């Protein structure tokens, strides 16, 4: 064990090859949270879910992710990281197979919960990358690894729509199960051994989450900013496929092409990381928040069936993804600077809080679209980042 600790401490300059491996792994794992986002329509119909609660398909996955962040990620400060990562991936493989064969809603939602729980592997890999990098390169490393993660998020939607259009929605879960099994084998061979330094028991680690939340105001603030942004992001991607089908009669292939546009937002991650290294965290955050508010304002005002309205949906798909990506990397850069020993728990807390925002956004998106239509959904979507804007106005101290 001491050898593992020593090796862990010596690796303060991560190699390019390892950075690529971690980025690809994060992207493949986190994609599991988003495959169902553009498939809410066909999945809910196949499982017999009413339109008003169709958003639960995405919400349950995000609730599972929050649970994993609170109860699995703390283990990364206790157990050897490589073994924990591989074990969690095996859970994801089994859950994906269960989702693919589910005949009804209850079994599928159970599988979605487990998919989300196991997919917290991504939030063990990102702090691992941070711990393997020097302070000077940490923002760049986190930005590059997060680019892979964000590409996974953004590519998951078009890929799942395309696959569903060709072979049915269950196929994407089968394909992902195969990918996760192969990824588990690759990471078992490629990752270094890392033994955490914490001496706390598991119960103490979980209990310490409340203490950490109280101890770091900057953690609470950053998590609330991101929760509001991610809530609006999740609301948009839960409702826009429904609108594209209802108003523009798009097929799953058409939705896949639309979702592919959002990939452009991934460029904000490495840029945000570099700017965060230079100390421009407040500028990045307020720009991201205002961009999100203005994006929803545009599509709330112009919402007819015109080409202009459709073009604005494409534009907002990009601007929302960029806003979420840039602020996420900036916030994580700040949080990873708070302490090495509790890095896994700090990251888990941050991600849990903002994914709660995502779960709320997904649920509200399905609910408002079913009962009030597109305008109601966009109003709620714009209100979430506006709350972040009001909270930003209370920030009195520059953050680094």
Q: pLDDT tier at 267 (50, 70, 90 boundaries)?
A: low
pLDDT at 102: 94
Report yes or no: 48 and 105 within 8 Å, Cβ to Cβ: yes
DSSP, res 201: -
pLDDT at 265: 67
Output the 3-class SS for 167-186: HCCHHHHHHHHHHHHHHHHH
Question: Is pLDDT above 70 for 340?
Answer: no
Q: Which long-range contacts (CB under 8 A, 24 or more apart) does 245-251 make?
A: 245/41, 247/305, 247/374, 248/305, 248/310, 251/165
Report yes or no: 320 and 232 within 8 Å, Cβ to Cβ: yes
Q: What is the mean pLDDT of residues 268-281?
A: 69
Identify which has the larger pLDDT, 291 or 326. 291
| Mean pLDDT score across all residues of the chain | 86
> Is the four-CA dihedral 363, 367, 373, 377 of positive or negative sign?
negative
pLDDT at 3: 41
First-to-last alpha carbon distance for the chain, in angstroms, is: 35
Report yes or no: 271 and 142 within 8 Å, Cβ to Cβ: no
Identify which has the larger pLDDT, 18 or 180. 180
pLDDT at 278: 72
pLDDT at 338: 80
Give tens-digit pLDDT for 64-85.
998 998 889 888 888 889 999 9
Within 10 angstroms of residue 341's Cβ, the number of other Cβ atoms is 13
Identify which has the larger pLDDT, 379 or 347. 379
Question: Is pLDDT above 60 for 10?
Answer: no
339 in helix, strand or coil? Answer: coil
Q: What is the mean pLDDT of residues 279-306?
A: 90
Q: How many residues does the chain have?
A: 400
Tell me the pTM.
Answer: 0.78
Identify which has the larger pLDDT, 231 or 272. 231
pLDDT at 280: 75
Give tens-digit pLDDT for 229-256.
999 999 998 899 889 988 888 888 888 8
pLDDT at 110: 96
Helix (H) or strand (E) holding 268: helix 268-277
Q: Mention every residue, 6+ apart, whose C-beta is less than 8 A from residue 258.
A: 158, 240, 244, 250, 313, 314, 317
Q: What is the mean pLDDT of residues 121-130?
A: 85
DSSP, res 338: S
Q: pLDDT tier at 196 (50, 70, 90 boundaries)?
A: confident
Report yes or no: 117 and 91 within 8 Å, Cβ to Cβ: yes
Question: Is pLDDT above 50 for 259?
Answer: yes
Measured between alpha carbons, how far is residue 46 from residues 3, 317, 326 in Å? Answer: 53, 27, 36
Domains in the chain (CATH in brackets) are: 10-392 (1.20.1250.20)
pLDDT at 270: 67
pLDDT at 349: 87
**Hey, what are 266's tokens?**
């991934």
Q: What is the mean pLDDT of residues 224-232?
A: 96
Question: Is pLDDT above 50 for 1?
Answer: no
Question: Is pLDDT above 70 for 2?
Answer: no
């Amino acid at each position: 064990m001491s050898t593992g600790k020593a090796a862990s401490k010596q690796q303060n300059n991560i190699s390019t090859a390892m950075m690529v491996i971690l980025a690809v792994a994060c992207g493949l794992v986190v994609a599991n949270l988003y495959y169902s986002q553009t498939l809410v329509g066909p999945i809910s119909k196949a499982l017999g879910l009413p339109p008003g609660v169709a958003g639960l398909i995405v919400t349950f996955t995000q609730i599972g992710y929050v649970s994993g962040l609170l109860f699995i990620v703390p283990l990364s400060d206790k157990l050897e990281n490589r073994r924990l990562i591989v074990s969690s991936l095996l859970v994801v493989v089994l859950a994906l197979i269960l989702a693919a064969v589910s005949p009804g809603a209850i079994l599928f939602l159970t599988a979605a919960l487990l998919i989300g729980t196991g997919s917290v592997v991504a939030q063990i890999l990102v702090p691992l990358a941070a711990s393997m990098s020097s302070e000077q390169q940490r923002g760049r490393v986190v930005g590059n690894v997060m680019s892979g993660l964000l590409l996974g998020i953004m590519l998951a939607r078009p890929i799942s729509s395309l696959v569903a259009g060709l072979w049915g929605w269950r196929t994407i879960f089968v394909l992902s199960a195969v990918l996760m099994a192969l990824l588990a084998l690759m990471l078992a061979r490629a990752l270094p051994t890392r033994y955490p330094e914490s001496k706390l028991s598991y119960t103490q680690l979980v209990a310490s989450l409340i203490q950490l939340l109280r101890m770091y105001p900057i953690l609470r603030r950053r998590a609330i900013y991101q929760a509001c942004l991610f809530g609006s992001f999740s609301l948009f991607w839960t409702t826009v496929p429904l609108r594209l089908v209802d108003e523009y009669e798009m097929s799953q292939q058409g939705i896949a092409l639309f979702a592919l546009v959002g990939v452009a937002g991934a460029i904000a991650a490495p840029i945000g990381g570099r700017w965060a290294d230079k100390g421009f965290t407040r500028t990045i955050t307020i720009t991201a928040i205002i961009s999100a508010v203005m994006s929803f304002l545009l599509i709330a005002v112009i919402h007819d069936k015109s080409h202009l309205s459709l073009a604005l949906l494409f534009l907002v798909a990009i601007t929302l993804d960029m806003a979420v990506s840039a602020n996420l990397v900036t916030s994580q850069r700040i949080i990873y600077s708070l302490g090495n020993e509790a890095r896994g728990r700090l990251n888990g807390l941050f991600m849990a809080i903002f994914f709660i925002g995502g779960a709320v956004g997904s649920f509200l998106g399905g609910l408002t679209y079913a009962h009030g239509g597109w305008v109601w959904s966009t109003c709620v979507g714009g209100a979430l980042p506006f709350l972040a804007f009001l909270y930003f106005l209370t920030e009195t101290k520059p953050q680094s």
